[in-house]
A and B are shown apart, each in its own frame.
Chain A
Amino acid sequence: MAPLALHERVLVSREFFKTDHAEKTCEQCHGGNPAAVGRTEAHKGVVKDPTEVPPFSKVDKIVCAECHEEQVKTGSTSLHATLTTFPKVLRARAGNDARNWDSVMEPGRRNHCTACHSSCGDCHVSRPKFAKGGFLQGHVFRKKPDMVNQCMACHGSRVGDEFFGNRGVGDVHLAKKSMDCMACHPAGEMHASGEGLTSRYQLPQMPKCAGCHEKDLGKVPQHKVHAGKVQCQVCHSQEYVNCYSCHTGKDANGVAYFVNQMETESIKIGLAYPGSGRSEKYILVRHVPADKEVFDFYGKEAFKTFDNVPTWKATSPHNIQRKTWQSASCNHCHGQRALFLAEGDLLAYEKAANRPVVVPDGKVPAKRKEDTAKDPEVKVQSAMMIAAESLHKALGKKEPLILVDARATETYKKGHIEGAVPFDVMDELRYPADATPRAMTMKAPEELAALLGGKGIDRSVRVVVYDAGGLEAPFLAYALYRLGHANVAVLDGGIDAWAKEAKLPLVAGDPKPAVVRKFEADPNAAIIMDNRQVVAAMAEPGTIVLDARTVGQYQGLAWHPLQIQAGHIENAVNLPAMGFWTAEGILKDPRASAWLLESRGVTKDKRIIVTCTTGQAAAGTWWALKHLGYPNVVLHDGSWVSWERSPMMKK
């Protein structure tokens, strides 16, 4: 979601004056002085958002209540409006120390936690303040919030990413039924009072899967066995983000920030604990970003009783799929100790409160001998990936190897692996996004070969490429393959796997002058197709166009900045690239990836044309499929950006 320019945020459309809300004058809601001359005088006393509830509001009464009395009555105490559970948890962690509360907790809460509360207007007329506001439709009020510009403006980095498939393969409710947030979270829930709650899961109006799926419960044998004992999401969600260490403070300009310093994608099953709001025995839990140092900026050791409240908490991932890897076979869950929260998963300062959530060995369901389902046999092309430790050893032995940093050059200068050659994939690999079908297509082989040679890269030795988990490395690795260099590997987990996981050193500074070499290109035309070739291939049996974009992009809800129209290639199968890669650039379990492809009908006997918006996600999928041993995978050059600029193409 691109931010709005300042003037765009406050531009009132003529359409607004045709609506009921225009019955009131501006100053009746916002105050100010419309008779004054000049911006400063006219805006004296203006209330930007007269729909906020106290204590966030500067007015005594929410203006909406004049007509929407009933909604405001409960909505003004709703979870969205008040974040009522936050102070309760903070107090419990702070030891209910009043002095500590006033001097440390309250400033921290005010500057950071409450930044996320929302008013009536944040959902019905403008983007939320957290996303810097701005009218959605020229001050026209909308009964139903906008999923992308309102809900996901706040719930974007975890829930939104899961739902859209920016991580994982998205949520079936969106992918198959085009359901938006309000389909499950209607006004009755959004406007419900949150008074007295200590957890949002205690809200009686929370959606329940059985509300729509009750009739399915009796049809599936596994439902009969697990219903009521196991939370639906245990079987029906994918891996998702656990955040471990949120830290807050103010930067050099005095702007409040919070930053999460560690997160991993995983799935953990815990036991329902007191206050979890769940009735099942086994539930999904995630590590909330709480950290006992979260308010250190405001006062050291402020959380005297941090371990009063669990950090592993009930969760409801928004990446539901009907079939998942863990539900593909009983024994993908039964006997899989690593899926269940263990004592060893807990940090030293969070053991007591989490103990009721931990699943002891005796409560991990045993493997079932009756389960005879066999996993697909997967023989990966192991040379295509390299672990940080292996790379370190290879460099230590001075094995012939060219190391390439595929990130932006400015990022390279701040810290890179010693000896790495910079190649800014985003800037150097493709033609610019002009108005022609050549937009974002890969540079011609001879042009690219000259560029690579000029940086000291050739085909004589193995090339290892790394990035920061953004699929730049597999894109460059694919490009080298295309030019005939088959001895290429991607650093699994990217630079974080090297520096943060393996604790190996980085160096900063400008790149050293390159030893220019000649890259003898031997282009492999069988692994790339332009638009015309894709159209021709689509008519042939046994060909699948695999769209590697997110579900949101595929459905036209989320736009890439270079797109000029929404849409996807007709009959393309949507399987986001992040179904195969974690956000840290780690290839996921090959057995699960192979199963995922098979379950979508993407089998090795077919020709797979991978496409996306500009080619990068497609290249990530290309690399993952080749790693899994798919023999016939082709990249759609320039992908959607080139496709939509081509006059012969239709949506």
Chain B
Amino acid sequence: MNHQRVLTSRNRLLRQMFAAGLAAGLLSAAGTVGAAGDPAAKPASTCVACHTDVEKLKAEAANVPVPAGSALQAGKG
């Protein structure tokens, strides 16, 4: 049953999250990293740095060639 399948997947995810949260909580308590779920606690990444910054993306987008769509293209039913 689909209903059960979703629950199974979700339970697995919850277990993983619980384990990750427990570890993060312990590390946080030890003063190692920020609290779990805090966006600021995300590891530094150029992906995140750029893809969350509207102005940076706008500047980059200005240099990306955009293929022109065909004026003949019609929608599907």
In the complex, chain A residues whose CB is within 8 Å of the CB of B39: 14, 17-18
- Residue tally, chain B, CB below 8 Å to A: 40
A191 to B3, CA, bound (A): 12
With beta carbons under 8 angstroms apart, the residue of A6, A11, A191 that contacts B64 is A6
Contact yes or no, A42 B20, CB < 8 A: no
In the complex, chain A residues whose CB is within 8 Å of the CB of B43: 25
Contact yes or no, B2 A187, CB < 8 A: yes
Is the CB of A253 closer than 8 A to any CB of chain B? yes
With beta carbons under 8 angstroms apart, the residue of B2, B37, B58, B72 that contacts A257 is B72
With beta carbons under 8 angstroms apart, the residue of A5, A191, A253, A260 that contacts B74 is A260
Is the CB of A401 closer than 8 A to any CB of chain B? no
Is the CB of A36 closer than 8 A to any CB of chain B? yes
Residues 7 to 37 of chain A near chain B (Cβ within 8 Å): 7, 10-14, 17-18, 20, 22-23, 25-27, 30, 32, 34-37
In the complex, chain B residues whose CB is within 8 Å of the CB of A36: 46
A116 to B57, CA, bound (A): 28
Whether A241 contacts B57 in the complex (CB less than 8 A), given A26-B45, A255-B68, comes out as no
A30 to B46, CA, bound (A): 13
Is the CB of B77 closer than 8 A to any CB of chain A? yes
Contact yes or no, A70 B5, CB < 8 A: yes
Residues 52 to 77 of chain B near chain A (Cβ within 8 Å): 52, 54, 57-58, 60-61, 63-64, 66-77
A10 to B2, CA, bound (A): 32
Is the CB of A130 closer than 8 A to any CB of chain B? yes
Residues 253 to 300 of chain A near chain B (Cβ within 8 Å): 253, 255-260, 289
Is the CB of A413 closer than 8 A to any CB of chain B? no
In the complex, chain B residues whose CB is within 8 Å of the CB of A347: none
Contact yes or no, A6 B20, CB < 8 A: no
In the complex, chain A residues whose CB is within 8 Å of the CB of B20: 23
- A318's nearest neighbour on chain B, judged by CB, is B77
- B20's nearest neighbour on chain A, judged by CB, is A23
Is the CB of A386 closer than 8 A to any CB of chain B? no
Contact yes or no, A191 B46, CB < 8 A: no
Contact yes or no, A256 B60, CB < 8 A: no
Contact yes or no, B9 A7, CB < 8 A: no
A10 to B71, CA, bound (A): 24
In the complex, chain B residues whose CB is within 8 Å of the CB of A369: none
Whether A34 contacts B46 in the complex (CB less than 8 A), given A67-B12, A255-B68, comes out as yes
Contact yes or no, B46 A69, CB < 8 A: no
Whether A17 contacts B42 in the complex (CB less than 8 A), given A11-B52, A116-B76, comes out as yes
Whether A258 contacts B74 in the complex (CB less than 8 A), given A25-B43, A26-B47, A42-B46, comes out as yes
Contact yes or no, A7 B2, CB < 8 A: no
Distance in angstroms from B44 CB to nearest chain A CB is 9
Contact yes or no, A7 B12, CB < 8 A: no
A255 to B72, CA, bound (A): 9
Whether A255 contacts B51 in the complex (CB less than 8 A), given A25-B43, A42-B46, comes out as no
In the complex, chain A residues whose CB is within 8 Å of the CB of B47: 25-27, 30, 32, 34, 42
Is the CB of A646 closer than 8 A to any CB of chain B? no
- B5's nearest neighbour on chain A, judged by CB, is A70
Is the CB of A159 closer than 8 A to any CB of chain B? yes
- B60's nearest neighbour on chain A, judged by CB, is A39
A157 to B73, CA, bound (A): 12
Is the CB of A363 closer than 8 A to any CB of chain B? no
Contact yes or no, A157 B60, CB < 8 A: no
Is the CB of A68 closer than 8 A to any CB of chain B? yes
With beta carbons under 8 angstroms apart, the residue of B2, B13, B48, B70 that contacts A188 is B2
Distance in angstroms from A522 CB to nearest chain B CB is 44
In the complex, chain B residues whose CB is within 8 Å of the CB of A289: 77
Residues 7 to 52 of chain B near chain A (Cβ within 8 Å): 8-9, 12-13, 16-17, 20, 37, 39, 42-43, 45-48, 50-52
In the complex, chain B residues whose CB is within 8 Å of the CB of A249: 72
A32 to B45, CA, bound (A): 12
Distance in angstroms from A559 CB to nearest chain B CB is 18
With beta carbons under 8 angstroms apart, the residue of B52, B63, B72, B75 that contacts A12 is B52
| A contact residues vs B (CB 8 Å cutoff) | 5-7, 10-14, 17-18, 20, 22-23, 25-27, 30, 32, 34-37, 39, 42, 67-71, 116, 130, 132, 154-159, 187-188, 191, 241, 243, 249-251, 253, 255-260, 289
Which 8 A-B pairs have CB atoms at the shortest separation, nearest pair first? A158-B77, A70-B5, A157-B75, A7-B57, A257-B72, A26-B47, A255-B70, A6-B61
Cross-chain pairs A/B with CB under 8 angstroms, 14 sampled? A11-B51, A11-B52, A11-B57, A17-B39, A20-B13, A32-B47, A34-B46, A39-B50, A70-B2, A71-B2, A154-B75, A157-B77, A159-B77, A191-B2
